[in-house]
Amino acid sequence: MAKKIAVIVGSLRKESYNRKIANELIRLADGKLDLQIVEIGNLSLYNEDSDQNPPQEWTDFRQQIKDSDGILIVSPEYNRTIPGALKNAIDVGSRPYGSSVWPGKPGAVITSSVSSLGGLAANHHIRQAFVFVDVPLMQQPEAYIGNSAKIFKEDGKTVVPDTEKFLQNFVDAFQKWVEKF
């Protein structure tokens, strides 16, 4: 049975390139991994005052992460760092103190950007946050996808062959990474 992977997309935009990349990864996993997008746009901002009586969306999100065998982040870069919605999701999952849902789940990060840098700064900031919450992240291959507006075929959904090959190699490496755990 394929390992269940929670895919978190850092962009909330309806036509997000990152969501499209996540959907391509789901297609390319093709039974090797069971990739499922876990939505984060409905999570209210983390506030420790709510720990005793958490909103239902926090409880649901935490359960989805608990039920997963691994984590895959697909995110843009906002202002050279992590998008606010993604950082909030990390915080919601790591609290209340001592009850984090993240520890020990193998993870991986892909960032993309319409610029040529491919979200390099965000990738490293995401990694820093996940080191602290004890998610062992796959080191290689690194995945920074630059010029993301140009990687899609005319249908606007599927990626060009070179990008597809790169994403397939990434999924295959991630499957091996997850199996180590």
**pLDDT surpassing 90 at residue 54:** yes
pLDDT at 7: 98
Residue ranges per structural domain of the chain: 3-179
Q: Is the CATH code 3.40.50.360 the one for domain 3-179?
A: yes
Burial class (CB in 10 A: 0-12, 13-18, 19+), 114: middle
Dihedral sign, Cα of residue 27, residue 30, residue 33, residue 36: positive
pLDDT band at 21 (very low <50, low <70, confident <90, very high): very high
pTM check: above 0.85: yes
- φ, ψ for residue 72 (rounded to 5)? -125, 120
pLDDT, tens digit, for every residue of 141-151? 999 999 999 99
**pLDDT surpassing 90 at residue 40:** yes
